[in-house]
DNA sequence: ACATGAATATTGGAT
DNA sequence: ATCCAATTTTCATGT
């Protein structure tokens, strides 16, 4: 799994190592070093000399990690070209891409370690509790929102975006349902408001708006009241009912 | 900078290593290993056995990287508690936090390498081209939006959010300006529309709405027309004018 | 290629 | 602690 490693490589040694293993395109390379980092593209940034962990993956993505936080200090999602060289006695890597046009340049001022790994393509990954899943579950069990609710459409397109769930209640009124997998805020309320307005413009039927989420912020709840809309508490991670043959994450094997 | 390293550690050796260096709280620890990863909290996920690079930083943040993409497969922004142990002959790390309550559990099935680094807190970092910077520049030079425009407020709070720039034009009309540092989409148009509506409700003055961005999507431009709002092309990375003593990123030292 | 919208978004700032 | 809005958001998806 570990292909190669050098401790405290000289600049030309580091450059050669990077060149060799990045060119292969089938491994992950990382460098621990004091670095200077320049970025220019959608924005521009400079990171003065400091210790960083630099990771270059097979897809050419580059990330420069500092001592804290999940998010890298500098990064590039995917690069079209990688250049490695020695400038003024310092190993330098430049990662470029074209769309959008941007560039990250890392100068390895004092490399402590460089390594190349082979990470085999990994296996299955399953995520539970996405909004898409929540939408499927509620389309199947609309009574979790309101007894007697009948779902007419999912992702119904309007001129201002797609309506998550479009339904009819037992009184015959149309119901626009906006889903959020986590606590809903004012943005979600306005989104719902837009959809309701849009549907009302189309016809003369009575139209209700329901925000379905596990929770709602106080200002958002206020706003709902002002706009004559409703909130319904719905969990994003529903207990799977016996009728469904869905595997449970924590079910015993 | 490199504190310690073990190749192909046995489970108890890996657990001891992790325990020792994670407890210190002043270093970055990483493991290259075949892993199984469980996450449970805001959502839930399972990653089946595969090769991953696991990074634990000083702040307790955990990230599990696969062979591609900047974004980790699993992660945790900050953990309150880290537990390390050996279960069924396999080294296991569990990272928990309380707000929100969530947990990541990594089982190191076949560890190839574990390392501990000391990354000193890094120095200066400067980002140019943020929306905040754009806002300052345009507040100072509103003529870049429209000749004769007079800025009354920045970040003016309304009941539906903060207005980026609030101004008056040469005809005496109020102007709501929404800024985007990159190409503006329908979402931005709706945001602007909300602010304009809110201001109109407050008084009887004529109110214009301007979306200022380096570019705009075709549907968004359409929407602007429908709502009677305007678009103005403004760069997020303005050429610094001679009057400003702002340092240029690429100026020679 | 472009536009849209979700995300375990993360992160920083204001209240 | 809560809430809001920016982000070099990234990323997957649909058109």
**Domain holding B134: CATH number?**
3.40.1350.10
Same domain membership, residue B131 and residue B111:
no
Q: Which residue has the tokens 């039927």?
A: A205
User: CA of A198: how far to CAs of A61, A180, A209, A251, in Å?
Assistant: 42, 20, 11, 44
Closest nt by CA–C1' to A71: C10
Same domain membership, residue B129 and residue B113:
no
DSSP run (H or E) holding A11: helix A11-24
Provide the number of structural domains found in chain A.
2
- pLDDT at position A236 is 79
Q: Which residue of A has its CA nearest to B224?
A: A160
Chain D nucleotides close to protein (CB under 7 A) are: 1-12
Determine, for residues A2 and B1 on separate chains, whether the beta-carbon distance falls below 8 Å: no
- Cα(A93)–Cα(A114) distance, integer angstroms: 13
Asked if the model's pLDDT at residue B6 lies above 60, the reply is yes
Asked if the model's pLDDT at residue A242 lies above 50, the reply is no
Asked if the model's pLDDT at residue B247 lies above 60, the reply is no
Same domain membership, residue A130 and residue A111:
no
Residue B137: other Cβ atoms inside 10 A: 20
Q: Is the dihedral of CA A125, B15, A252, B44 positive or negative?
A: negative
Residue A242: DSSP 8-state: T
Asked if the model's pLDDT at residue A72 lies above 70, the reply is yes
Which position has the higher pLDDT, B201 or A31? Answer: A31
Determine, for residues A76 and B70 on separate chains, whether the beta-carbon distance falls below 8 Å: yes
Query: What mean pLDDT comes out for the span A191-210?
Result: 94
Which of A21, A51, A222 to probe the B interface (max B CBs under 10 A)? A51
Q: Which two tokens stand for residue B174?
A: 């109020």
- Cα(A175)–Cα(A232) distance, integer angstroms: 13
Domain final position from A117, A151, A176:
A117
Residue A139: other Cβ atoms inside 10 A: 16
Q: Which residue has the tokens 């719902």?
A: A192
Same domain membership, residue A85 and residue A17:
yes
Chain B residues 125-164 with Cβ under 7 Å of strand C are 157
Nearest by CB to residue A2, choosing from B58, B67, B112, is B112
Same domain membership, residue B113 and residue B29:
yes
Q: Is A102 within 8 Å of A42 (Cβ atoms)? A: yes
Whether the CB of A122 is below 8 Å from some CB of chain B: the reply is: yes
pTM for this one?
Answer: 0.92
Domain final position from B67, B94, B117:
B117
Whether the CB of B236 is below 8 Å from some CB of chain A: the reply is: yes
Q: Which residues of A194-212 are buried (b: 16+ CB within 10 A; e: fewer)?
A: bbbebbeeeeeeebbbbbb
Tens of pLDDT, residues B106-125: 999 999 999 999 998 777 99
- pLDDT at position A160 is 87
Same domain membership, residue A103 and residue A73:
yes
Asked if the model's pLDDT at residue B242 lies above 70, the reply is no
Return the biggest CA–CA distance within chain B: 78
Q: Which residues of B203-222 are buried (b: 16+ CB within 10 A; e: fewer)?
A: eeeebbbbbbbbebbeebbe
Q: Is B138 within 8 Å of B144 (Cβ atoms)? A: yes
Same domain membership, residue B101 and residue B132:
no
Q: Average pLDDT over chain B, rounded to whole?
A: 91
Q: Which two tokens stand for residue B127?
A: 């980002």
With H, G, I as helix, E, B as strand and everything else as coil, classify residue A198: helix
Closest CA to A178 of A230, A128, A137, A240: A230
Determine, for residues A50 and B123 on separate chains, whether the beta-carbon distance falls below 8 Å: yes
Same domain membership, residue A11 and residue A109:
yes
Whether the CB of A99 is below 8 Å from some CB of chain B: the reply is: no
Q: What is the CATH number of the domain that holds B47?
A: 2.70.180.20
Judging contacts by C-beta atoms under 8 Å, the chain A residues touching residue B249 are: 38, 40, 44, 46
Q: Is B237 within 8 Å of B129 (Cβ atoms)? A: yes
Closest nt by CA–C1' to A77: D10
Q: Which two tokens stand for residue B143?
A: 């003529």
Domain that includes residue A129, residue range = 125-252
With H, G, I as helix, E, B as strand and everything else as coil, classify residue A197: helix
- pLDDT at position B159 is 81
Whether the CB of A57 is below 8 Å from some CB of chain B: the reply is: yes
User: CA of B249: how far to CAs of A45, B29, B243, in Å?
Assistant: 8, 33, 17
- pLDDT at position A240 is 53
Whether the CB of B135 is below 8 Å from some CB of chain A: the reply is: no
Same domain membership, residue B157 and residue B187:
yes
Judging contacts by C-beta atoms under 8 Å, the chain A residues touching residue B2 are: 7, 32, 112-113
Same domain membership, residue B79 and residue B172:
no
- Cα(A180)–Cα(A146) distance, integer angstroms: 17
Does strand C come within 7 Å of the CB of B186?
yes
**First vs last Cα of chain B: how many Å apart?**
29
Q: What are the backbone dihedrals phi and psi of residue B165, each rounded to the nearest 5 degrees, phi first? A: -135, 130
Tens of pLDDT, residues B67-108: 999 999 999 999 999 999 999 999 999 999 999 999 999 999
Q: Is A111 within 8 Å of A32 (Cβ atoms)? A: yes
DSSP labels for A41-53? SSSEEEEEEEEEE
Rg of chain B on CA atoms, in Å: 26
Whether the CB of A252 is below 8 Å from some CB of chain B: the reply is: no
Asked if the model's pLDDT at residue A190 lies above 90, the reply is yes
Closest CA to A42 of B127, B189, B211: B127
Query: What mean pLDDT comes out for the span A65-86?
Result: 96
Least confident of A31-35, A169-173, A214-218, B189-193: B189-193
Domain final position from B66, B93, B117:
B117
Q: CA of A170, closest CA in chain B: separation in Å? A: 32
Same domain membership, residue B66 and residue B50:
yes
Q: Which residue of B has its CA nearest to A47?
A: B125
- pLDDT at position B238 is 59
Same domain membership, residue B43 and residue B148:
no
- Cα(A236)–Cα(B40) distance, integer angstroms: 13
Q: Is the dihedral of CA B62, B64, B70, B76 positive or negative?
A: negative
Residue B5: other Cβ atoms inside 10 A: 17
Nearest by CB to residue B44, choosing from A42, A63, A249, is A249
Judging contacts by C-beta atoms under 8 Å, the chain A residues touching residue B61 are: 68-70
Q: CA of A163, closest CA in chain B: separation in Å? A: 15
Q: Which two tokens stand for residue B141?
A: 């030079």
One-letter-per-residue 3-state SS of chain B: CEEEEEECCCHHHHHHHHHHHHHHCCCEEEEEEEEEEEEECCCEEEEEEEEEEEEECCCCCEEEECCCCCCCCEEECCCCEEEEEEECCEEEEEEEEECCEEEEEEEEEEEEEEEEECCCCCCCEEEECCHHHHHHHHHHCHHHCCCCCEEEEEEEEECCEEEEEEEECCCCCEEEEEECCCCECHHHHHHHHHHHHHHHHHCCCCEEEEEEECCECHHHHHHHHHHCCEEEECCCCCCCCCCCCCCCCCCCC
């Amino acid at each position: 799994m570990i292909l190669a490693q050098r401790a405290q490589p000289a600049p030309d040694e580091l450059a050669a190592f990077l060149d060799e293993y990045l060119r292969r395109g089938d491994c992950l390379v990382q460098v621990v070093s004091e670095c200077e980092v320049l970025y220019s593209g959608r924005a521009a940034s400079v990171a003065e000399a400091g210790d960083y962990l630099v990771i270059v993956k097979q897809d050419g993505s580059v990330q420069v990690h500092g001592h804290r936080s999940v998010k890298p200090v500098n990064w590039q999602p995917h690069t079209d070209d990688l250049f490695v060289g020695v400038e003024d006695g310092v190993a330098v890597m430049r990662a470029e891409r074209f769309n959008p046009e941007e560039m990250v340049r890392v100068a390895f001022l004092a490399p402590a370690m460089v390594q190349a790994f082979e990470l085999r393509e990994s296996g299955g990954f399953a995520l539970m509790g996405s909004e898409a899943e929540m939408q499927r579950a509620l389309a199947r069990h609309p009574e979790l929102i309101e007894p007697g609710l009948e779902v007419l459409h999912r992702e119904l397109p309007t001129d201002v975006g797609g309506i998550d769930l479009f339904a009819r209640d037992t009184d015959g009124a149309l119901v626009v349902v906006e889903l959020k997998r986590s606590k809903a805020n004012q943005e979600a309320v306005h989104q719902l408001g837009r959809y309701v307005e849009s549907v009302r413009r189309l016809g003369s039927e009575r139209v209700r708006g329901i925000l379905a989420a596990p929770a709602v912020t106080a200002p958002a709840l206020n706003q709902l009241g002002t706009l004559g809309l409703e909130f319904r508490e719905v969990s994003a991670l529903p207990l799977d009912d016996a009728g469904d043959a869905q595997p449970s994450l924590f079910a015993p094997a």
